[in-house]
Amino acid sequence: MLEGYEIVIGLEVHAQLSTNSKIFCGCSTEFGAEPNTHTCPVCLGLPGVLPVLNKKVVECAIKVGLALNCEIALFSKFDRKNYFYPDLPKAYQISQYDLPICKNGYIDVEDNNGEIFRVRINRIHIEEDAGKLVHGVSITESNVALVDLNRAGVPLIEIVTEPDIESPDKARAYLITLKSILKYLSVSDCNMEEGSLRADANVSIMPKGSKVLGTKTELKNMNSFRAIERALKYEIERQTEVIQNGGKVIQETRTWDEKTGKTVSMRSKEDAHDYRYFPEPDLAPIELAEDWVDEIRKTIGELPREKKHRFIDEYGLPKYDANILTMDKALANFFEEAVKEYHDSKVVSNWVIGDFLRLVKEEDMDYKDLKMTGLLLSEMLKMIENGKISGKIAKTVFEEMFKTGKDPKVIVEEKSLIQISDESALEGIIEKVLDINPQAIEDYKAGKERAIKYLMGQVMKESRGKANPGMVSEMLMEKLSL
Ligand code: ADP
Ligand code: ZN
Ligand code: MG
């Protein structure tokens, strides 16, 4: 970064709303169907049809607006954004231009160092998605492009920030926070691979403290938050070099190439008037009743930041734990379900953050497909506490619970994992281990403390992890001191 310069970033996020049907027709929004099967005259853009607004879309947009501290416009309208491209059969996209449904909001975001910064939201508007072009082999090798219009007319909201973000890692922190909020609200599944969350990044640099923003470039085609951070870093370097060499940054749209790790010029950026926006005559303006907005406000519930603070206060959790546990609502619910039935919240948190999240990742699991409940975790923890199973065996039980959703008691029974706490049974095992390890006994007597750990390990192994470790330790000590 150039000495005496600062970075300015603004983000535009498109989130697909989780409605069952499209924004202006009854077609399904389901992902992955046979191409062009979720289409009708409306979303195919055939002449002579009229769009009808899906009320759920408006409700979702208001919900997001309220969660992002926006003003909700009681009067907003739709506009046609004109452009010619084969993914758009009408040759215009229905969007909102000068009167969006939400404006002037903000979110407070915590960066990696725990510092809170505020990002102002300029606007949130509603629009329809376009279709998807499919190139047989690749865009350069295919001689045809096919279009799949299943996605045409799928509802989106676009969330536009003010140019408030000071660094690529803060941009990423903002996106993580925004995604978490959208998922809490259940308005979008935010699946970046399926395109239900897409972000364009605008970036410029300017002399520190300048009142005039530098010329920005707009970056597209990043499909992970990491990629966005990397693209921004690259672009800041590039702009810096341009300025250092006495050149001028030109306003343009650049595409991120994941393979080369570079941004490449795509087109010089058109201004809004190039789109020749004009009011959509086929749709009435959206006029909201304040009562309805209040109703929606009541459905918002606890958001990630509030939940995090409550977890710290109510359960005495470290901030680190609370952060992870509240990132996802389903995860937080899982934790709370367990902690309701088990007294040590830190122990619960350790299992959730450790083994639970590891398995979720390994199995690439969606929380909604979870077989295991928090209640089962609490039962397992009680079994450890009562000496029924050892901490080590619990790992096996936990994996089995995760995969099958079975009760831990049943698992322990089926796999005969119950802990051996019977003194005479332990006696037999310990004797056997001591018999075949005379060297370790010598070592111990010669003052090598480590030898006892080794013997402990051998006993646990001999019992296949089922020996009660507390009892074994005590009994071993006693025998060795004879
Ligand atoms: P455009 O007309 O190119 O769409 P907008 O003014 O609508 O530009 O802003 C689009 C996004 O770019 C917003 O998120 C905004 O905060 C951001 N932005 C605007 N100007 C700059 C700038 N000079 N540097 C970085 N980001 C900017
Ligand atoms: Zn349709
Ligand atoms: Mg704009």
Query: Hunting for tokens 């499209």 — which residue is that?
Result: 22
* pLDDT tens by residue, 404-430: 999 999 998 887 777 887 888 889 999
Q: What angle do CA 177, 178, 179 make, to 5 degrees?
A: 90
Determine if ligand 1 sits within 6 Å of the CB of residue 252.
no
Residue-wise pLDDT for 10-24, tens only, equals 999 999 999 999 999
Identity (one letter) of the amino acid at 85?
A: Y
Which residue's structure tokens are 């952060």? 323
174 alpha carbon – ligand 1 mean position (Å): 16
Please state the φ and ψ torsions of residue 284, each to the nearest 5 degrees: -70, 150
pLDDT band at residue 332 under the 50/70/90 scheme:
very high
Rounded to two decimals, what is the model's pTM? 0.86
pLDDT for 439 beyond 70:
yes
Q: What is the pLDDT of residues 205-259, one digit of tens each?
A: 999 999 999 999 999 999 999 999 999 999 999 999 999 999 999 999 999 999 9
**CB half-sphere exposure, 92, CA atoms < 13 A:** 18
- Measured at the alpha carbon of residue 158, what is the angle toward residues 296 and 42, in degrees to the nearest 5? 90
Whose CA is closest to 156, among 97, 94, 111? 94
Which one of the ligands is nearest to 122 CA?
A: 1
Name the residues around ion ligand 2, CB cutoff 5 A.
25, 27, 40, 42-43
> What single DSSP character describes residue 136?
S
Written as one string, the DSSP assignment of 40-74 is -TTTTT-TT------HHHHHHHHHHHHHTTPEEPS
Q: Which pLDDT band, with edges at 50, 70 and 90, does 363 fall under?
A: confident
Query: According to the model, what pLDDT value does residue 467 have?
Result: 87
DSSP assignment of 351-409 equals HIIIIIHHHHHHTT--GGG----HHHHHHHHHHHHTTSS-HHHHHHHHHHHHHH---HH
Does ligand 1 have an atom closer than 6 angstroms to the CB of 216? yes
Q: Where are the beta strands (DSSP E) in 208-248?
A: 217-220
* 110 Cβ below 6 A of ligand 1: no
Inform me whether the pLDDT recorded for 273 exceeds 70: no
Task: Report how far residue 307's alpha carbon sits from residue 323's, in angstroms, rounded to the nearest whole number.
Answer: 9
CB of 253 shorter than 6 A to ligand 1:
no
Q: Which 3 state secondary structure label does DSSP give 125?
A: strand
- pLDDT given at position 84: 86
Is residue 312 within 8 A of residue 322, CB to CB? The reply is yes
Average pLDDT, the chain: 93
Q: What is the C-alpha to C-alpha distance for residues 119 and 166, in angstroms, rounded to an integer? A: 10
Q: Is the Cα torsion angle 191, 195, 197, 200 positive or negative in sign?
A: positive
pLDDT value of position 82: 93
pLDDT surpasses 90 at 267 = no
CA distance 135 to 144: 7
Sign of torsion over alpha carbons 360, 361, 362, 367 = positive
Confidence of residue 271 (pLDDT cuts 50, 70, 90): low
Looking at ligand 1, which atom is closest to the CA of residue 271? 2
Least confident span in 19-23, 131-135, 234-238, 345-349: 131-135
Helices (H), 141-187: 168-184
How far is Cα 176 from Cα 199, in angstroms, rounded to an integer?
12
User: 3-state DSSP: the chain helix, strand, coil percent, rounded to 5?
Assistant: 40, 20, 40
- What is the longest distance spanned by two Cα atoms in the chain? 98
